[in-house]
């Protein structure tokens, strides 16, 4: 929907800051420059709110967006009249309305996913239940980026648990231990996934796997968020040959090589059907 919710929040916050700056300025030129910047930011909020109101399907969202646009217009008018004190009060109310708009949309998105939880896989339902209370705590921040980060952090954690459960029995069979590390990044158009599985000798300190690993399994991918199916990927398996004898390398390679592609493909299938499907729904329900 045109300018995103988070841009509305940023512009509304800028209005408050610039109006306060104008109020505090002793020099006329500084005061006028800050007032012009505040007016421009208020206009940005107004245009974005008007666009959301035009496109909104939900009556409540339309009503909120229209009220926000009117409040932005009020700030502009006070600034044009050089009524700085009145503009400060109007700007504070504008910022409050912008926060409430974002909060309500996050609540609505989460509520819709929870109410349709039976449409998700069993693991997807578990994911929703685990993130529900944490997202409720984030709502008060009215921060969409923080929401995305929390969803990704929880998905990273669950992904690492999945990989640990699948790979650890194989690692233990050859007297090793495994430490999975999954990194996720979500943009407006794509998701990026990096997977590292470190293999360490049992007696080695697992708190620093990057340094102490004798071998590491890696893969990465970047895929458009419109594609929820798991892609085929290239899985690499590399050794730190300085730490191992050749015969041990051969034994480990034989055991891991024949399983690595199946393990990672199974993880990706689970990830896209269970976790990504959930936060894709939530993010898509929040007006952009």
Q: Are 215 and 256 in contact (CB under 8 A)?
A: yes
How many Cβ atoms from other residues are within 10 Å of residue 277's Cβ? 17
- Judged against a pLDDT cut of 80, whether residue 138 lies above it is answered with no
Q: For residue 267, what pLDDT is reported?
A: 87
Determine the average pLDDT of the residues in 57-72: 86
Q: For residue 288, what pLDDT is reported?
A: 56
Q: For residue 140, what pLDDT is reported?
A: 67
For 109, the token pair is 């998105």
Residue 156 sits at φ, ψ, to 5 deg, of: -60, -45
Minimum mean pLDDT range among 52-61, 101-110, 197-206, 224-233? 224-233
Minimum mean pLDDT range among 149-153, 230-234, 238-242? 238-242
Looking at the chain, the whole-number percentage of residues with pLDDT higher than 70 is 90
28-55 helix and 84-115 helix, angle to the nearest 10 degrees: 30
Rounded to whole angstroms, what are the CA distances from 96 to 21, 71, 283?
19, 10, 22
Determine the average pLDDT of the residues in 45-55: 85
- Judged against a pLDDT cut of 80, whether residue 57 lies above it is answered with no
**Global pTM?**
0.72
- The per-residue pLDDT for range 76-88, each reduced to its tens digit, is 999 988 898 999 9
Rounded to whole angstroms, what are the CA distances from 160 to 157, 194, 195, 284?
5, 11, 9, 25
Minimum mean pLDDT range among 38-47, 102-111, 178-187? 102-111
Q: Are 218 and 198 in contact (CB under 8 A)?
A: no
CA distance 171 to 148: 33
Q: Which residue has the higher pLDDT, 268 or 6?
A: 268
Determine the average pLDDT of the residues in 153-178: 89
CA distance 106 to 132: 11
CA distance 44 to 94: 12
CA distance 133 to 110: 10
Q: Is the dihedral of CA 235, 218, 150, 166 positive or negative?
A: positive
In the chain the first and final C-alpha atoms are separated, in Å, by 5
Rounded to whole angstroms, what are the CA distances from 138 to 9, 107, 149, 277, 278?
15, 10, 11, 20, 17
Q: For residue 286, what pLDDT is reported?
A: 62
Domains of the chain plus CATH, in order, are 5-104 (1.20.120), 153-285 (3.15.10)
Sole residue written with tokens 């293999």: 199
Q: For residue 16, what pLDDT is reported?
A: 93
How many Cβ atoms from other residues are within 10 Å of residue 24's Cβ? 11
Q: For residue 164, what pLDDT is reported?
A: 93
Please choose, from the candidates 279, 130, 101, the residue with its C-alpha nearest in 3D space to the C-alpha of residue 191. Answer: 279
Determine the average pLDDT of the residues in 237-249: 73
**Helical H segments across the chain, by residue range:** 5-24, 28-55, 59-80, 84-115, 122-139, 144-173, 209-212, 246-270, 277-285
């Amino acid at each position: 929907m045109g300018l995103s919710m988070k841009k509305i929040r940023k512009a509304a916050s800028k209005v408050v800051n610039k109006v306060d700056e104008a109020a505090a300025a002793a020099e006329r030129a500084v005061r006028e420059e800050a007032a012009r910047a505040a007016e421009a930011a208020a206009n940005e909020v107004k245009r974005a709110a008007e666009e959301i109101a035009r496109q909104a399907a939900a009556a409540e969202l339309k009503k909120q967006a229209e009220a926000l646009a009117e409040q932005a217009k009020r700030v502009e008018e006070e600034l044009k009249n050089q009524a700085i004190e009145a503009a400060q009060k109007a700007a504070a109310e504008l910022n409050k309305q912008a926060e409430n708009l974002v909060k309500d949309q996050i609540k609505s998105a989460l509520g819709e996913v929870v109410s349709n939880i039976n449409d998700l896989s069993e693991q997807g339902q578990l994911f929703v239940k685990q993130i529900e209370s944490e997202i409720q705590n984030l709502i008060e921040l009215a921060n969409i980026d923080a929401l995305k980060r929390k969803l990704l952090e929880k998905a990273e954690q669950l992904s690492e648990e999945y990989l640990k459960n699948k790979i650890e029995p194989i690692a233990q069979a050859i007297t090793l231990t495994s430490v999975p590390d999954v990194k996720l990044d979500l943009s407006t158009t794509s998701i990026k996934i990096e997977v590292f599985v470190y293999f360490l000798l049992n007696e080695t300190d697992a708190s620093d796997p990057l340094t102490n690993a004798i071998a590491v399994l890696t893969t990465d991918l970047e895929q458009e968020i419109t594609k929820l199916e798991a892609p085929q990927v290239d899985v690499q398996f590399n050794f730190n040959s300085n730490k191992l004898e050749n015969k041990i390398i051969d034994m480990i390679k034989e055991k891991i090589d024949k399983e690595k592609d199946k393990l990672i493909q199974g993880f990706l299938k689970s990830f896209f059907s269970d976790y990504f499907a959930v936060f894709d729904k939530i993010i898509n329900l929040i007006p952009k």
